[in-house]
Structure 1
Amino acid sequence: MGNGTILKALSGLALLSSILFVSASGCTKKGADRPKHPNILLIIGDDIGIDVTTDMYPGMIDDLVKQYGPSGHNHPRYQEIDGRPASTPSLNALAGAGMRFTHAWAQPFCSPTRTSLITGLYSAKTGIIDPLGWLSRNHHSFVKDLKEKGGYSTAVFGKWHIAGLFEYPGMKPKEAGFDLFQGNLHGGVATYYEWDYHVQDASTPPDQWRTEKPPARSLPGIEPTTFAPVVKTADAINWITEQETKNPDKPWFAWFAFNLSHITGRQEPNPMVIPNADTMDETSRKEMEECMGPDGQFGSANTGSCSSEALMRAMTNSMDTMIGRLIETVDELDSDTYIIYLGDNGTWMFGPKREFIDNMYLTKQGRSKGTAYESGVRVSMAIRGPGIKAGSQSDDWVHNVDLFSTILELAGLDVPETVPNREGNGMVEVDGVSLTPILFEGARSLRDPHKGYLLAATVNSYKEGYPVEVGARNATYKVICDDSAETESCVFYNIVEDPIEEYPLEKPDSCDGYENGTWAPSDPEWNYCRLQEVIATKSILAHPPERKTNNLQGAPPKAKI
C-alpha cells in the first residue's frame, strides 16, 4: 500500500508505556468478598448510544460544554452539546451502585456487537460486519463454558440477532449454550405489539425453534399487554424467580436484550412508538402528552406530532422502567448478583423518522449508528456487584468484546487464550481482555496506551455501495478509514482533546518516520501510523469483503417447527 500504510512494528518503541500499563493477565485476584460462582445478569439496550443516557454520567455534558466553549475550542455551536437525554432513573441508580465506564465502545451495528461479545473476537475474526451476517456454529461461546464448566443455568430473553435474519441459519441460542430462549431471533420486531415470539426450550433441538403469537404479560402496576418489553421482562423475572426457588444454590446467567429503542419492521404510521403509559415515568409521559396531539395514542405507532427525538427518549425511558423492575426482583432474590448494562451501538441518524440524536454531539449527519465515529460506537456501560465500589468510575478505553473474558472471570472460570476460527479449521487469539483488574484491583488501564488498540468496523448496508468503515483508537488518538487504509481515505483525531470529533488533525505525508524509528510514541504522527497499520492489517480492510454482498456465511438454513 502507498504512503507506508503497511508497516512493520518497531521493536523497543513505547517500552516505558508497555511497562506502565496494567495487563489483564496476571493481576486479577479472587477477592474474599466475591462469590465463587455468582449469578450474572447481562442487559443490552438497542440503538441507544451514550448521548441518550448521559444522566448516567454526572458532569459529562458540563465538561464537554466547557471543553468546546469559549475557554476551550470555542465552537460556534457549543451550547447545542447540552441537549436533552432520556429520563433514566433506573440506569442512573445502577451506575451509581457500581462502576460506570466513560469510554466504552461497541461495534457500529447490532449483530456485530453481539457476536463480538459472545466470542471475544473483533469482526474481522467473526466475519460479522453488517446487520445481515450470521455467526458460524464453529465459533466458541462463553455461555457454553458457564453451562458446562461452571454448572450454570442459562437463559436468554429478547433480541438475539446472532443467527442472521429471516431463516436464521447461524448459531441459535441453544447452540450457544443457553437452556432456554424466549424472544425474537430477528434484528427487530414487526411491531412492538404484533411480533414473532420465538422459543427454544427442552422440547426443541438446538438448531430449531417454535414461533408463537406473543403472549400477554403483566407486571405490578402494568396492565396485561403484548408490548414486547413487558413480555420479555416478565419472562425473565419468571425464570429468575424459578431458579432461585427451585435450586437457590445453582448459579444462573441471564442474557436480556431489549428491542427498545430500535425501529420496527412495519414503517407506517411510524417506525417508533409511544410506549404504554404505565411503562413510563411522569417526565416521559408528560412529554408525550404535550407532543402527541389529537392523533397520538399511548401504546401504539400513532405518534401524533411527537418528534423522533422525543420518541427515542420515551422508548428509552420505557426500557429503563423495565430494567428497574428486573433489578428490583433480582435484589429481592439475590442482591449479590452481578449486573451489567451495555448499549449495543450508537444512536441512529438515518433520514426522516430515524433521526434521534438530540444531545452531546454537534456533527450528526453522516455519523451515528453504522459508522465508526464516536456517535456510532460509544455506548454506556455499567457493572454492579459484590466487590465493586459504589459510585466508582473508569475512564479507560474499553470495548464490549472485553465482556467475554470479564464474565468468565466473574464466574470463577478460566479465560481461553485462543478459540476456534469461523471455518472451524484453526485457532485464533481472543481479542478481548478482562475488566476485572479495573473492577476489583484499582487498575487504571488494561492496554498499552500507544501500541494497544480498539477496533470498530462495518460494511454499512444502508449506504449506497456498501462502504467499509473502520475506526481504531488507542489511549489518545483515533483514525477512521473509509474503504481503504490509504492516507487519503482516513481521518485523524486526538480523541482526548476532541472527544466528539470536530477538529481533524493533520496527517503525515508518509509513515517513514514511524518505520525508521525517527518518531516516538509521544509524537502524534507515530500514533497515526500505528493506528493506520492496525486498520490495514488487523481489521476487515486486511481482507476487504466483496461488494454488494450480504456477507452471510453460507450455512444451510433450518426450518422452523
Structure 2
Amino acid sequence: MNKCITLYLMLLALVLFSCESEEVEELPPNIVLFLVDDMGWQDTSVPFYSERTALNERYHTPNMEKLAAQGMKFTQAYATPVCSPTRVSLITGMNAARHRVTNWTLRKDSIQPMEKNHDSLQFPEWNVNGVSPVAGDPKSVQAMPLPQALNDMGYYTVHAGKAHFGAIGTPGEDPLNLGFDVNIAGHAAGAPGSYLGTENFGNGKPDREIWAVPGLEDYHGKEVFLTEALTQEALKALDSVVATQQPFFLYMAHYAVHTPIMGDARFVQKYLEKGLDSTEAKYASMIEGMDKSLGDIMKYLERKDIAGNTVILFMSDNGGLSAHARGGEPHTHNLPLSSGKGSVREGGIREPMLVKWPGKVEPASVSDYQVIIEDFYPTILEMAGIDSLDTVQKIDGQSFVPVLKGEKEYDGMRTLVWHYPNEWGPSGPGIGATSAIRKGDYKLIYYHLDQHMELFNLKEDIGETKNLVETDTIKAKELARNLSDYLKDVDAQMPILKTTGEVVPYPIELFSDGSSERE
C-alpha cells in the first residue's frame, strides 16, 4: 500500500510539474513597439540596402545593430508619407484610404491651412479629428484600438512619447481613451516645442505652447534631452509590473527625430568633428540618442531577466525628412531612395524595421517580404495569443507572424496601396495629392493634380529614375485598374478639380478603354 501511495504521489507531482511547465511556456510575451518619428531607411548604421552606403557610415546605431543580430531585418517595410495616417493605421489595422485620416491631425474639425486655399484642388473632408474608440464622433474613424484589445486581454499598456492619434479636444487626443493604462507625454501635437529640459520642452513659451510636451515637469530646467527623459519614465512605468507575471505592452513612440532639429549634447560633438554641418550633426546626434534609448530598454529587459519572453518591434512612421529643414541638398537624405517625408516615392514610405522574438525568430535573419504599417495590428494580436477579435472596423492588415517564423515567403502577388488626397506643403518628387500601388516589383504613382502617372520597376530601379508608363503600358494599365478597384472598394475620398468642379478621376479612367463610371 505504501508503495502505491508513493507511486501515486510521484505521478501527481510529475503531472503538476508538467502542467506548471506548460503554463510557463504559454505565458503571453511582453511586447515593446519602438516607433521612431521621421526616421529614414538610411538613418542608421544597419544597412537595409543590398550594400553599405555613405549614410550607413555616417550614423552610429550600435543597439540597432545588436537588435538586427538578435532578430529579423525587413528590407521592404512601408508606412505612409506622413505621421497621423501611419499611427492610425497602426492602432486600427486599417489602410489610410479606408480610415480617412489621410493627413496629420491637430485642430478639431479643421483641415490643414495649406489645404484651405489651394489654387487647383478642393480637398475632401477627411477625418481631421483622428481615431475614436466610440461611435458618433464627427470627422473621426471609430475603431477598436490595438492597446484596448491588448488591455482587455490582460496586458498592462504603457504609452510613452508622441501620440498624434486625434485632434485637440477629441477622444483620440488622450492615449488613456484608447486603451493605455499609462500615458507619458502623449497629446494631440505631433512635434515637441523643444527637446531640451532647460527649455521645459516648450512649456511656458507662448509661441510653442500648442507643441509643448506635457507631463514631464520633473525634468524641467534640467540638462536632459527629451529622448532620455521619455526613456527613463517609460522604464519607471514598467517597474510596477515586471515583478508579476502580467504581460505588458510598451509603445515607445519617440518624438525624435522630428523637427525642431536640436543637438543632443551627449553625442553632437563627434559629428561636428566628422565634418558634418551644424544641422546634420544635430540630426545625427538625435539618431544616436534614439538608439541609446533602444539600448537602455534592451538592457533593462536583460537586467529584469525578461528579455527571453519579450518581443521588440522597431519601426518608423514615415521616411526621413529631406524636402526642407535639413542641411545639404534637398531630396537626397535617403539615397539611394528618391525623395523623403511627404512623398509616396520610396524615400517617403520605406522604413527601417527590425523584429526580435526569442525562440521564434532566427537571429540575424533577413526578409524581403513586403509589409505595411497596418500589418502590425493583426501581427501583435497574434503574438499576444489573441486569435479572434470582434472589431467594429475592417482589418486591412495581414499578420506577418508566419514570415517571422520562417513559414512564409513573399510570392509577389500581394498589393500595397497608399492614398494621400491632401496637401503637405513642400514640393518635390512624389510630393502632393497622390495615390499609389505596389505589386511585385512594380509601383505606380498617380498624381491627382494633373493626372499623370509614374511606373517604376523597383527591383531594377530602386531610385525611381526611369518612368516606364510609356514603354510598359500593359503593366501600367494593370496597376491602374488594381489601384482604381481598391479605391472604389474602400470608398476612398478624392479631391475636386477647381477648374471643372469634377472629382479627380480614377487612374483607370485615363486609359482609352477604361471605365468612366464612378461607383
- Alignment TM class, shorter chain as reference: 0.7 to 0.9
The Cα RMSD (Å) is 3.2
Superposition deviation, residue 499 in structure 1:
1.7
CA distance in 2, matches of 1:478, 1:156: 35
Superposition deviation, residue 454 in structure 1:
1.0
Match of 1:260 in 2: 256
Structure 2 counterpart of 1:348, which letter?
Answer: L
Instruction: Choose which of 318, 322, 345 in structure 2 pairs with 1:373.
Output: 345
Match of 2:184 in 1: 182
CA distance in 1, matches of 2:296, 2:409: 33
Instruction: Choose which of 228, 234, 237 in structure 2 pairs with 1:236.
Output: 234
Structure 2 counterpart of 1:361, which letter?
Answer: L
Superposition deviation, residue 532 in structure 1:
3.8
Superposition deviation, residue 310 in structure 1:
2.9
User: 2:51 aligned with 1:61, yes or no?
Assistant: yes
Query: Contact (CA 8 Å) 2:159, 2:186: kept in 1 or not?
Result: no
TM-score, structure 2 as length reference: 0.74
Alignment of 1:294-305 (within 5 A): none
Taking structure 1 as reference, are residues 97 and 290 closer, same or farther at Cα in structure 2, changes over 3 Å only?
closer
Unaligned runs of 5+ in 1: 1-30, 66-80, 198-209, 218-222, 265-271, 292-304, 421-427, 511-522, 549-561
Taking structure 1 as reference, are residues 396 and 32 closer, same or farther at Cα in structure 2, changes over 3 Å only?
farther
Query: Contact (CA 8 Å) 2:315, 2:354: kept in 1 or not?
Result: yes
Query: Contact (CA 8 Å) 2:263, 2:283: kept in 1 or not?
Result: no
Match of 1:52 in 2: 43
CA distance in 2, matches of 1:290, 1:393: 31
Taking structure 1 as reference, are residues 98 and 429 closer, same or farther at Cα in structure 2, changes over 3 Å only?
same
TM-score, structure 1 as length reference: 0.69
Structure 2 counterpart of 1:276, which letter?
Answer: A
Instruction: Choose which of 249, 257, 261 in structure 1 pairs with 2:245.
Output: 249
CA distance in 2, matches of 1:398, 1:353: 28
1:61 is paired with a residue whose SS is: coil
Percent of aligned pairs with the same residue? 25
Superposition deviation, residue 96 in structure 1:
1.3
2:218 is paired with a residue whose SS is: coil
Superposition deviation, residue 502 in structure 1:
1.4
User: 2:456 aligned with 1:493, yes or no?
Assistant: yes
Structure 2 counterpart of 1:469, which letter?
Answer: T
Query: Contact (CA 8 Å) 1:508, 1:525: kept in 2 or not?
Result: no
1:339 is paired with a residue whose SS is: strand
Instruction: Choose which of 283, 296, 308 in structure 2 pairs with 1:325.
Output: 296
1:170 is paired with a residue whose SS is: helix
Query: Contact (CA 8 Å) 2:97, 2:418: kept in 1 or not?
Result: no
CA distance in 2, matches of 1:35, 1:48: 35
Query: Contact (CA 8 Å) 1:36, 1:411: kept in 2 or not?
Result: no
CA distance in 2, matches of 1:168, 1:546: 28
More helix by share: 2
Match of 2:149 in 1: 145
Instruction: Choose which of 433, 437, 449 in structure 1 pairs with 2:398.
Output: 433
Taking structure 1 as reference, are residues 61 and 536 closer, same or farther at Cα in structure 2, changes over 3 Å only?
same
Structure 2 counterpart of 1:179, which letter?
Answer: D
Match of 2:6 in 1: none
**CA displacement 1:297-317 (0-9 Å, x = unmatched):** xxxxxxxx8343332222101
Taking structure 1 as reference, are residues 261 and 136 closer, same or farther at Cα in structure 2, changes over 3 Å only?
closer
Match of 2:494 in 1: 544
Superposition deviation, residue 361 in structure 1:
1.7
**CA displacement 1:316-349 (0-9 Å, x = unmatched):** 0111011111111012220120011001100112
2:34 is paired with a residue whose SS is: strand
Query: Contact (CA 8 Å) 2:163, 2:173: kept in 1 or not?
Result: no
User: 2:441 aligned with 1:476, yes or no?
Assistant: yes
Instruction: Choose which of 380, 384, 388 in structure 1 pairs with 2:356.
Output: 384
Match of 1:393 in 2: 366
Structure 1 counterpart of 2:190, which letter?
Answer: G
Taking structure 1 as reference, are residues 184 and 32 closer, same or farther at Cα in structure 2, changes over 3 Å only?
closer
Alignment of 1:24-35 (within 5 A): 35=26
Superposition deviation, residue 95 in structure 1:
1.3
Superposition deviation, residue 238 in structure 1:
0.8
Structure 2 counterpart of 1:56, which letter?
Answer: V
1:346 is paired with a residue whose SS is: coil
Taking structure 1 as reference, are residues 122 and 44 closer, same or farther at Cα in structure 2, changes over 3 Å only?
same
User: 2:37 aligned with 1:39, yes or no?
Assistant: no
CA distance in 2, matches of 1:397, 1:383: 14
Query: Contact (CA 8 Å) 2:73, 2:366: kept in 1 or not?
Result: yes
Taking structure 1 as reference, are residues 237 and 159 closer, same or farther at Cα in structure 2, changes over 3 Å only?
same
Q: How many residues align?
A: 427
Match of 1:227 in 2: 225
CA distance in 2, matches of 1:369, 1:528: 24
Query: Contact (CA 8 Å) 1:45, 1:259: kept in 2 or not?
Result: yes
